[in-house]
């Protein structure tokens, strides 16, 4: 599925992600919880976890496309 990101306006990258994920997290009361997420919710959480790990959607693009986007973005500013 094509994915965009507010960190990279006007950029869309085709990214393969798991359709279903199992997540363990702490709620605001620091109580540990678990759940299974599917489809778009699973995609959004994987995208957000990538951000926490310093990964952007551009990191999934082939090198040639990354270079083209780099040039395009430099021309904007």
List interacting residues with Zn ion (CB under 5 A): 5
User: Residue with CB nearest Zn ion?
Assistant: 5
Of 23 and 58, nearer to Zn ion (C-beta) is 58
Least distance between Zn ion and beta carbon 3 (Å): 8
Least distance between Zn ion and beta carbon 59 (Å): 11
Least distance between Zn ion and beta carbon 72 (Å): 18
How far apart are alpha carbons 70 and 75 in whole angstroms? 9
Burial 6-21 (b: 16+ CB within 10 A, else e): eeeeebebebeeeeeb
How far apart are alpha carbons 73 and 38 in whole angstroms? 33
């Amino acid at each position: 599925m094509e994915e965009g990101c507010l960190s990279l306006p006007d950029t869309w990258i085709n990214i393969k992600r798991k359709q279903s994920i199992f997540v363990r997290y702490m709620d605001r009361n620091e109580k540990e919880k678990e759940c299974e997420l599917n489809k778009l919710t699973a995609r959004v959480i994987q995208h957000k976890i990538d951000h926490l790990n310093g990964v952007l959607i551009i990191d999934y693009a082939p090198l040639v496309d990354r270079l083209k986007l780099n040039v395009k973005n430099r021309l904007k500013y």
